Structure 1
């Protein structure tokens, strides 16, 4: 959810990225040399940005392969009014755990019986002797037994597709790079820029962080980098004007 405050931070930060270097360079010679740590971290950030973008592209390629190979959810595993009372279920999700919506959004995500829930339900039936079950209970038990192999096969196919596409591996590598980028940019954000060069480094760090991950990365970048970059610009402009 984008709040009013977040929107302001995003606008401030994006404006800084576009205008930081020209605006401050035009102000005159800065009073102090740039902080050496900020310069060093800026070089490291440039290298990490290349790694992030490479891994992000690899993840997208793997995701496309996964989506292309992923088997359809078997109709027999979908929850029905009858099966709803026999075993628990869960809604269909994608690789990120987000709900999969059908083409008709009014229908909502599909609920289906998983192998784990089917086993749990069958374990409860197994505690009863055959003679203790009436015909309706035996019918329900057999209904679940027929669907357990289907659920196991479907989930095994999903795992095989994941392995073939390399998605989990690519996603993990990208996540590690994004985490490293976040830690590095937080360090950059904590160092006040003293010169146009420093402000440019911070603006580039903001841009790199924005491009590294998903919407959440963009939100963090706006909150953490936006106000700081604007503050650096105002301070350097003020100091340059006093020189």
Structure 2
């Protein structure tokens, strides 16, 4: 059966081998049988840069390279935790990097793909942070720092993110409906797939359908799209 798979918000880290094991199992048993795999951001808990040569980073890249070498196309949209995934990662894995908003044809139906953070327009502090770290000159500078310094800076950023989240109301971190409608209208589509909010659900509104991918904190989350339609499914951790 023809199917296309979508995942996001795995937040892969050496500290959570159960998530990594579930991801590896997914790649080796499900992804190898799909028409295409789309990763819609936050694959990693934080990606410090393409010069990360740790055993963990190389293991994840190997899984993608194995998949793409089998002829399965794999696409990647940056999230708020892995916006530093770059050309070297793409070259090493065969993964194709997409723009932050991308329209794909899914068996005759067009869908807008994005990570989802830009839909949360009420989260003003985060959007200001996002604008800052996406400046090319700042990324150029960061990427030229020694790896050990980058890891220290990332650890500080992660702590700040955790503290900031604890002080925010939940509705601030969710999407703004008007922004969703505007993005769908702009791209002239009525189906959207995104992650980021960690609130898996299929929303059906007057302006179209919005599929929200789940995070991989307690279980895996996969959106399966076929010619017949789409489902949002969970995957149990192996241990």
TM-score interval, smaller chain? under 0.3
- Relative contact order: is structure 1 or structure 2 higher (C-alpha 8 Å, sep ≥ 6)? 1
**TM-score if structure 1 supplies the norm length?**
0.22
Structure ID, larger Rg: 1
